[in-house]
A = this chain, B = another copy of it.
């Protein structure tokens, strides 16, 4: 059981596996395919104060081993979204975390509204790529001042190391490392270069490094997000110092892996997963610092890979 506390309120995750914003929809879309109660929590797709419409332009470019997506974050604004989804969120077997985007003023207004409601267990703030550390602290503090809910900050990949401490100073109770990076690819349809966010297995080594670096520096719970496609990936993130992970595009590519990953964890305690080596494996309860230090300690004697005979 992982608890992310904010004063008297707390977000309790029965398993360290969370459905990421953008991948699972606004509520129970995936309940047709997946037993969502296997997850520790679900983050909604991004929600803004005012309605946002879908991007006009090309929204998907399939890539070798990944995909570029630019949706424009369509949603009908927090008040209408709440009317539309409150019943589903109440019926959800797992805590719902709302992903909020917008200016500091917009986010403050959203936070005040959510503080009056009961369906949402925590807020995840999407931190814009262009904000400086000082601005990140200010945005988070603005929201912090207006809600009792636990506050997660999802940091942009490139800026994660630079703005992480500021997000914690501002009052974030946990950090999500990281939002998927932006990229450019040629749209085969229009023949033009288009921009969007990038998803794929290759994200994992990039994000894993940031988690390792931040776990050595910060005391706040870290949630790894990016390129998790296999139970072994969860093990790697936990060993690098994450307390939980988020699953994103794997649910599109191989929904059955979401279940496999979630089932690799029994409630509260952590069983060893397929492929895990006994002497490397650390229980999830140990503090992040401890686990990360171990990575830098002397290695076990060499373990030759299985012979090919």
Residues of A within 8 A of B (CB): 63-66, 68, 157-159, 181-186, 188-193, 195, 198, 200-202, 204-206, 208-209, 212, 232, 236, 239-240, 277, 279-280, 295, 299-300, 302-305
Q: Are A183 and B198 in contact (CB under 8 A)?
A: no
Give 19 A-B contacts (CB < 8 Å), ordered by A residue.
Answer: A65-B201, A68-B205, A157-B158, A158-B158, A183-B206, A183-B208, A184-B208, A184-B212, A184-B236, A185-B205, A186-B236, A189-B303, A190-B302, A191-B277, A192-B299, A193-B240, A195-B209, A195-B212, A198-B202
Q: Which residues of B contact A182 (CB under 8 A)?
A: 209
Contact partner, A202, options B63, B239, B300, Cβ 8 Å: B63
The CA-CA distance from A182 to B207 in the complex, in Å, is 10
A209 touches B184 (CB 8 A): yes
CB pair B189–A205 under 8 Å, yes or no, is no
Task: State how many copies of this chain the complex holds.
Answer: 2
Q: How far is the CA of A299 from the CA of B239 in the complex (A)?
A: 48
Given A189-B305, A212-B193, A295-B192, A183 contacting B205 (CB threshold 8 A): yes
5 A-B pairs with the lowest CB-CB distances in the bound complex, closest first: A183-B205, A184-B209, A202-B202, A184-B208, A158-B158
Complex contact B200–A303 (CB within 8 A): no
Contacts of A200 in B (CB 8 A): 202
